[in-house]
Amino acid sequence: MIIIVIIFLSLGLFLSIKKPKYFIIYYILASTKFLGFIDPSSFIINGVEIGYFGLNLITILSLFFMNEWQGFPKKTKLFLYTLIVILIYGILKPIFDENSTLIKTIIASKEIWFYSIIFYLIVYRQAIDDILLLKSVKIIGVFLSINYIIGLIAPAFVPPLYYNGFFVRTFYPTYISLALFLYAINLKFSPSRLLKDRIIVTILLLGLVLSGHSSLIIMTIFGFVLYKYLYNTNLILNQFSIIKTVAFSVVGILFIFIFIDELYNDLLCKIDGVITGNDNSLSARDIYNEFRWEAINKKKEIGYGFIHQSSDFMKEINIISTNRFMERFTVIDSGYVDMIIKYGYLGTSIILIIFTKYFTLGFFEKYRNPLSLAMSIYLLQYVFINYTWSVYTFSHGIIPGMIALYFILISQHFHPKNDLNKLKY
């Protein structure tokens, strides 16, 4: 194991300093558990996971090896400073409150360190091959989708880390969503590639549906329709297209309900369960988060920072079960609860305001172009997905999100009326 860890980190360090364009691909592949064959989170020494933490540490350290330090563009500084404050506050808060030790808070902060990728992308922006990065994200999205499809037919052929003997689970379906928005650009502006891209988009959509993350599925399809059909080729919302799409959707849904009675009845039961509070998933989430809400009510404004599950403070928390969803403060399936616990209502509000300011740049005329608009629609999903899936505070949302933000920041030289060949890959 130690030899594998040394090779993994040494290769990462070499690429991060000498071959930035390949390090980004290496980093993304690592986040997918190397396409289901090698899991860096299993690199554990003395009970501490050093795989991803070591990779993120390398990402930060390599910034100081930049031969010609370019610094941060002025327009990105507020966002990057916010990330630094998030990390420092989360680490120091438990120490000042005497709720944890420094080592334990650093360990508990491991997910936030994935934001290091945006620092690297910005500092090494002149050395990054943007087209290679775009192409890689699309290929990974298709690969993950194909694994979900193969899982229906012959799960034995799915990479070992993606199949647990019962169901297929890849890392991460957010790459599928991101790839869909990149292909939406091709469908909208490259008619000569229409058949090929439609086949690929169908594969991506099927993989996304099979991933089983309802909020991601719904918001991705909504965003895809918004980009592809409601914006015209000048990237302006078309009133006629809006009316036509809404009418077509309503008629289509009605026909589906007429011919598939079971779907209609299931939907009614689901809605009734949500309204009455009897929905199993929501009820379970309420139970799992009960002790978290009790803790939040004691420190509503400023939160607790990063609390490790082994800290003495956790012994004081009223946990009524040994359920795995209740072993720690951090929670992966209730994003806003996770943020409020760490930063309180005040900190969470500030973070969301600043993030949204940058995530929605592509909607504004100054920054709007085919790539930036698609990426802003992708990132806007996070506001809604975060209710059921922690995309702001866990790597499955952080890494694809920061790649999408980078695409927005570097895409201003793209325009729907020229340079589209740079998007045809």
- Residue-wise pLDDT for 399-412, tens only, equals 999 999 999 998 87
321 pLDDT above the threshold of 60? no
248 pLDDT above the threshold of 80? no
Most confident of 43-57, 184-198, 259-273: 43-57
22-58 pLDDT, tens digit per residue, is 999 999 999 999 999 999 999 988 777 899 999 999 9
261 pLDDT above the threshold of 70? no
pLDDT for residue 388:
87
pLDDT for residue 293:
86
Average pLDDT over residues 362-382: 94
pLDDT for residue 135:
94
pLDDT for residue 334:
87
d(Cα 58, Cα 262) in Å, to the nearest integer? 53
326 pLDDT above the threshold of 90? no
d(Cα 289, Cα 320) in Å, to the nearest integer? 11
Q: How confident is the model at residue 274 (pLDDT cuts 50, 70, 90)?
A: very low
**Tokens at 187, concatenated:** 């469908």
pLDDT for residue 275:
43
Average per-residue pLDDT for the chain: 85
126 pLDDT above the threshold of 90? no
78 pLDDT above the threshold of 90? yes
Of 11, 153, 123, the residue nearest 60 (C-alpha):
123
243 pLDDT above the threshold of 90? no
Q: Which residue has the tokens 């297209």?
A: 241
* Range in 255-264, 316-325, 401-410 the model is least confident about: 255-264
Average pLDDT over residues 260-277: 54
Three-state DSSP state, 314: helix
pLDDT for residue 232:
86
d(Cα 342, Cα 89) in Å, to the nearest integer? 9
Most confident of 252-261, 301-310, 335-344: 335-344
* Range in 301-305, 406-410, 417-421 the model is least confident about: 417-421
Average pLDDT over residues 107-133: 93
Amino acid code (one letter) for 159: P
- Counted residue by residue, the chain has a size of 425
Q: Which residues contact 181 (CB under 8 A, 6 or more apart)?
A: 220, 223, 224, 227, 374, 375, 377, 378
pLDDT for residue 416:
45
* Range in 126-140, 259-273, 292-306, 360-374 the model is least confident about: 259-273
| Higher pLDDT pick, 366 / 47 | 366
Beta bridge partners of residue 45, listed in sequence order: 48
pLDDT for residue 60:
95
d(Cα 333, Cα 353) in Å, to the nearest integer? 21
pLDDT for residue 366:
86
65 pLDDT above the threshold of 70? yes
Other CB atoms within a 10 A radius of the CB of residue 22 amount to 15
Q: Which residues contact 317 (CB under 8 A, 6 or more apart)?
A: 291, 295, 329
349 pLDDT above the threshold of 70? yes
Q: How confident is the model at residue 247 (pLDDT cuts 50, 70, 90)?
A: low
Q: Which residues contact 363 (CB under 8 A, 6 or more apart)?
A: 373, 376
**Tokens at 159, concatenated:** 């990479």
Amino acid code (one letter) for 140: I
pLDDT for residue 257:
53
Q: What percent of the chain has pLDDT over 70?
A: 82
| Higher pLDDT pick, 126 / 355 | 355
